[in-house]
Amino acid sequence: MKKLLMLEKNPNNEEFEESVTENKETKLNQNKLGTEYESNRLLIAKLKESLAEQEQNLANCQEKLKRSLADYQNLERKTKMDIENGVNLKIDKFMIKFLSIYDDFIRAKKVLSNEKIDISGLESIVKNMNYLLSEYGISPINALGEIFNPNFHEAISVVEDSSLDDGTITQEIRKGYISQSRVIRPSLVEISKKLKLDNSKDEQND
């Protein structure tokens, strides 16, 4: 009787069961969505953490790259400078030897000129030598009448002369030369020195 009454009260029992089933499926779907959401949330958190790590690694790599580039540029500059210095040193050594030969030609030219001997051929050689020196940027150092400068001149004798300032170059014994901004051979010079008065004699005379 109870079953009949329940059937009478619920004529659409199938619809009720379907409703219950739908509710269960909805809850399952909700649970599934909740699980997926949590899983995705954890995944996003891990991805953000990984991204932060990669950004930090990238920043570290960029910093190392900058340092390496700076080190390379410094090494490149140093290597270039060392090469230039090495080349300049060899050129300077060669030019010093060349200047010794050049000096001999200049002396020979003066001697032959004083002896009234034709020096036209010698003048042509000296002219070519002067052109070579000019081509390599080598120029003579001014000395005569200048004030002694240890960076350009080398004093090998001193003459007393009260009419000149101390350190005035009175004679150029050997011409010096400069290449670009480098002194490859200093001038050998004689410099002046003022006479010192003997005060003791002056006092005796008084």
How many angstroms separate the Cα of 109 from the Cα of each of 57, 117, 175, 188, 201?
75, 9, 16, 21, 50
Domain assignment of residue 145, yes or no: yes
Secondary structure of residue 138 in the 3-state scheme: strand
Are 144 and 173 contacting, i.e. CB atoms less than 8 angstroms apart? no
Q: Give the C-alpha separation, 161 to 148, whole Å.
A: 15
Contacts of residue 169, defined as CB under 8 A and 6 or more positions apart, other chains included, come to: 143, 144, 145, 146, 147, 148, 153, 187, 189, 190, 191, 192
Nearest residue to 171 (alpha-carbon basis) of 157, 152, 150? 157
**Structure-token pair, residue 136:** 């390599």
Handedness of CA 127, 101, 159, 146 (dihedral sign): positive
Residue 157 has pLDDT above 70, yes or no: yes
> How far out from the chain centre does Cα 128 lie?
37
Domain assignment of residue 56, yes or no: yes
DSSP codes of every residue in 23-43: HHHHHHHHHHHHHHHHHHHHH
Residue 200 has pLDDT above 70, yes or no: no
Q: Which residues of 84-111 are buried (b: 16+ CB within 10 A; e: fewer)?
A: eeeeeeebbeebeebbeebeeeeeebee
pLDDT-derived band at 1 (thresholds 50, 70, 90) equals: very low
Average pLDDT over residues 69-98: 87
> How far out from the chain centre does Cα 53 lie?
36
Q: What is the pTM of this model?
A: 0.59
Q: Give the C-alpha separation, 161 to 102, whole Å.
A: 32
Contacts of residue 180, defined as CB under 8 A and 6 or more positions apart, other chains included, come to: 137
pLDDT-derived band at 177 (thresholds 50, 70, 90) equals: very high
pLDDT at residue 28 in the model: 64
Domain assignment of residue 126, yes or no: no
pLDDT at residue 163 in the model: 84
Domain assignment of residue 89, yes or no: no
Domain assignment of residue 101, yes or no: no
Domain assignment of residue 186, yes or no: yes
Listed residues 55, 81, 107: the one ending a domain: 81
**Ordered strands of the 138-140 beta sheet:** 138-140, 177-179, 182-185
Domain assignment of residue 203, yes or no: no
Listed residues 81, 110, 131: the one ending a domain: 81
Domain membership of residue 72 as a residue range: 18-81
| Total count of domains within the chain | 2
Domain assignment of residue 49, yes or no: yes
**31-40, 101-110, 134-143, 177-186: which has the minimum mean pLDDT?**
31-40
